Chains A and B, each alone.
Chain A
Amino acid sequence: MLNRRLIFAATLVLAGGINGAALAQDKSIVVSSTTSTTDSGLFGHILPLFKQKTGIDVKVVSQGTGQALDTGRRGDSDAVFVHAKAQEEKFVAEGFGVKRFPVMYNDFILIGPKSDPAGVKGGKDITAALKTIKEKGAAFISRGDKSGTHTAELNLWKAAGIDIAKDKGDWYKEIGQGMGAALNTASASNGYVLSDRGTWLNFKNRGELDVIVEGDRRLFNQYGVILVNPEKHPHVKKELSQAFIDWLVSPEGQKAIADYKVNGQQLFFPNAGAPGA
């Protein structure tokens, strides 16, 4: 008898909680995005502006690009905001997303120890730099987590004519973690690592690390935003999420992105509507 009463109480607590959660979600959407957008502080800058204008709360779950897309695929977010064009297009082609809107780009940079054991500092050619690192067997930290940055890194190895899956040795370390963790590892082990500029500028535990290669066009990193398809997941908050997407690509949203600076440096370059972006 006592047991039954307690179980009943527990059920009430749970049920009450669920109702409360449903109510609290009324004017909010969930966006799955990449660690780089969160860690760089961009969302901290633009989301309050959007909320002020529309009253909509954007809850950002920051994950690697692969996981963020998967979260959208499962219907656990209303929109995805990531940076891996090929994967994004596949996401839309498979019917999980409605349409991909290019929003902005930032760039990747090759980070490495100031001592530069591979001797590649100052160059503008990222593939040449990677070739040298491999030849000299200098330590290289890879995200190894199927994130956008990881995908970009793999594409660069390919562009350098290296089959990294086959050619990797002790010098190539896949850590399977986020950008910050990869930078922490590089800092602790004096390795090279490919990073997005935003995370790097916000990163505090730099130790002996510095920018080694930057400015190569192949290092540009395009972000896109996609509404999760309401036909697959009817609970998706279509209007609220589309309002967020529309704002991101509007002149107002684009200006907000351009205005975000760290130490006087602009991190993200809006390019909504740019052909081929």
Chain B
Amino acid sequence: MPAGASALEMVLTGDPGLYSIVGLSLYVSLSAVALAAIVGFPLGAFLALVRFPGRGPLVVVINAFMGLPPVVVGLAVFLLLSRSGPLGFLGILFTPRAMIFAQALLVLPIIVALARQTIEDLWAEYRDELTAMGIGPAGRVATLLWDGRFSLVTTLLAGFGRAAAEVGTVMIVGGNIDGFTRMMTTAIALETSKGDLPLAIGLGLVLITLVIGVNAIAWGVRRVGELRAG
């Protein structure tokens, strides 16, 4: 990033450094949320529909994990992916893949917990009707996920908000490598440490604008979807 440039200037002049950072931020955080959703939605549905011993404590733990400290998740994933760690042979530490993986772990409890709540509420409404129609367990999960899709969008947004805003995991497992693993939040941390507070704040505003943009798109999709499918 050119020294002395303001964030506004960089946005207006299409600074390639800024745009690659923005692109990476979106790519990593959206991928992480997608990955967490692929695993977390069925898991949340499972927790909502199936009663088994230890389910209560598990739900409490997952709810608590919504507030996992990013640094701790980052450190755990770092130790896992480090060459000296159990998954070191993958060689993905300090890459965007590692950041996606770490953020997905961070976001997973949010997705599972909120999806469980949404689906449990929906299940209370649908139980008799689906049972009367003879729908099996897999069909129930699919139906509830699909019919809960508009509420589940909010779940995704909560996950995205958390991923896009955090610096702890991506700093540790990504390494903040210029042009490769530098994201909005780690760039902001770096500019702060360089004492360029106006640029840091400017980048912060860009990040907030991005998050608002993603939320606005999701809201629009939800509105249109609800109008068309109720």
Contact = CB atoms under 8 A, between A and B. Distances in A.
Contacts of B35: 10, 13-14
Interface stretch (A87-95, A122-130, A163-171, A203-211): A203-211
Contacts of A35: 193
Given A3-B138, A59-B94, A74 B194 contact: no
B88 to A, nearest CB: 7
B196 interface: yes
B15 to A, nearest CB: 14
Contacts of B83: 74-76, 233, 235
A30 B175 CA distance: 10
Contacts of A18: 90, 92, 97
Interface string B11-46: 000000000000000000000001100110110001
Interface string B157-192: 000000000000000000111101100000000101
Interface residues of A, number: 47
Nearest to B96: A21
Contact of B195 (A59, A75, A203): A203
B225 interface: no
A2 B92 contact: no
A205 B142 CA distance: 55
Contacts of A57: 180
A205 B196 contact: yes
A202 interface: yes
Contacts of B181: 59
- Interface centre among B42, B95, B193, by most chain A C-beta atoms within 10 angstroms, is B193
Nearest to A7: B39
A233 B89 CA distance: 11
B176 A62 contact: yes
Contact of A1 (B41, B100, B138, B180): B138
Contacts of B82: 74-76
Interface of A: 1-3, 6-7, 9-10, 13-14, 17-18, 20-22, 24-25, 30, 35, 38-39, 41, 43-44, 57, 59-62, 74-76, 177-181, 183-184, 187, 199, 202-206, 233, 235
Interface of B: 3, 34-35, 38-39, 41-42, 46, 82-85, 88, 90-97, 100-101, 138, 141-142, 175-178, 180-181, 190, 192-197
